[in-house]
Amino acid sequence: MEKRIVLLPGDGIGKEIIYSAKKVLQVIAERFNHSFGFIEKQIGGSAIDEFNTPLPKETLEACQRADAVLLGAVGGPKWDSLPAEIRPERGLLKIRKELGLFANLRPVKGFSALIHASPLKEEIIKDSDLLIVRELTGGLYFGQPSERRNNGEAVVDTLYYEKNEIERIVEKAFQFAQMRKKRLTSVDKANVLESSKMWREIVNEKSKNYPDVTVEHMYVDAASMKLITNPSSFDVIVTENMFGDILSDEASVLTGSLGMLPSASTRSDSFGLYEPVHGSAPDIAGKGVANPLGMILSAALMLRYSFGLDKEATIIEEAVNETLIEGYHTPDLQIENGKIVTTDEVTSIIADKVAEGI
């Protein structure tokens, strides 16, 4: 059956790298006899220019009908002076919310060719390969009340979760752990926070349904230390919205480059929205030098998590790895004795490897 994929290029380098992902997916489709149908829609600044809104109705509806969405990046100086409600970034927040994408996944894997790009020691990051599962639509960032009180002399934010919101993210994390090394670390602050105590209870309860997954609980302060002193000890990490925000940025230093990192926003069914972690990079847009690897690796995540095509996803990841080992890279990366190539060139090298089979 045909998989319907909505492509949302967005702005800046999003318009360049999205076609790198499409090209690699077309090669996968050909080699493995899959049928992928692509529909392109507007989001962000380019949607503002054409439709006067960062998330046109027809874009949202196309996404609601699709099996998965690939997004480049949004934003740029052209739209910086607009009021907050109609800025490009609002389109991004709105689409995640409208589609109910509560589970944000950030896999962090160090590529051997880039090991010196990280400020951390080689022996520390060498075998790191972890997945952060961050709750995205609840917790401290959404809890009410959140306000100034007593004429500005006091302030309150609220860490609020309903039981089912914790259950569904924890369940997701167990499912990912099952697809990986079957180790789950639940990160909380249960020695202080009531919400964390409940979070812990739910993890323990759910773990009965996943006897093959080893569960450990860790306080967020200890976890943040361990993430940069012994990252290879983690497989899947599941955590509350704000803890996950902080830990995922911390974990990104393990890979050494923003252009390399993929992400996925998912929910209880197989639908997902996949995008690189970086922005629209207006400083290099239109020059043909953007690094498409984070985007291509996001497409691999789509194959794995939305379509259940793990083998195909792994082939793309290995093609990226080999390309870097051979030294081909865009100018944002540093590889000793490497060769600098354009966005299109590095895409073609990867596509050829995917076609030939590794």
What residues line the site for ligand NAI (CB under 6 A)? 13, 73-76, 89, 92, 258-259, 275, 278-284, 290-291, 294, 330, 332
Backbone phi and psi for residue 87, each to the nearest 5 degrees, phi listed first: -80, 160
Among 249, 311, 339, 352, the active-site one is: 249
Among 15, 94, 182, 189, the active-site one is: 189
49-81 burial: b if 16+ Cβ within 10 Å, else e: eeeebbbbeebbebbeebbbbbbbbbbbeebee
Q: Is the peptide bond before 145 cis (omega within 30 degrees of 0)?
A: yes
**In sequence order, what are the residues at sequence separation of 6 or more whose Cβ sits closer than 8 angstroms to the Cβ of residue 315?**
28, 354, 357, 358
245, interface contact from ligand NAI, Mg ion, none, CB < 5-8 Å by kind: Mg ion
Distance of closest approach, residue 194 Cβ to ligand NAI, in angstroms: 33
212 is catalytic: no
Compare residues 75 and 244 and give the one whose CB is closer to ligand NAI.
75
Compare residues 266 and 347 and give the one whose CB is closer to Mg ion.
266
Tell whether 78 is in a known binding site.
yes
Three-class DSSP category at 209? coil
Distance separating the N- and C-terminal Cα atoms of the chain: 26
Among 245, 274, 328, 353, the active-site one is: 245
Task: Tell me the C-alpha to C-alpha distance, in Å, between residue 347 and each of 166, 288, 293, 341.
Answer: 39, 11, 8, 10
Tell whether 231 is in a known binding site.
no
DSSP-derived secondary structure letter, 2? P
Tell whether 67 is in a known binding site.
no
Tell whether 288 is in a known binding site.
yes
Compare residues 89 and 326 and give the one whose CB is closer to ligand NAI.
89
Tell whether 85 is in a known binding site.
yes
Three-class DSSP category at 278? coil
Compare residues 321 and 330 and give the one whose CB is closer to ligand NAI.
330
332, interface contact from ligand NAI, Mg ion, none, CB < 5-8 Å by kind: ligand NAI
Tell whether 235 is in a known binding site.
no
The reply on whether position 245 binds Mg ion by CB under 5 A is: yes
Compare residues 205 and 249 and give the one whose CB is closer to Mg ion.
249
Distance of closest approach, residue 68 Cβ to ligand NAI, in angstroms: 17
Helix then strand then coil, in percent of the chain rounded to 5, is: 45, 25, 30
Among 157, 221, 310, 352, the active-site one is: 221
Among 15, 94, 141, 344, the active-site one is: 141
Looking at the chain, list the stretches that DSSP marks H as alpha helix, in order from N- to C-terminal side. Answer: 14-32, 45-51, 57-65, 88-98, 122-125, 163-179, 194-207, 220-229, 241-252, 293-305, 310-325, 343-356
Distance of closest approach, residue 245 Cβ to Mg ion, in angstroms: 4
Residue ranges in contact with Mg ion by CB under 5 A = 245, 249
**Residues of each annotated binding site for substrate:** 96, 106, 134, 221
The set of catalytic residues is 141, 189, 221, 245, 249
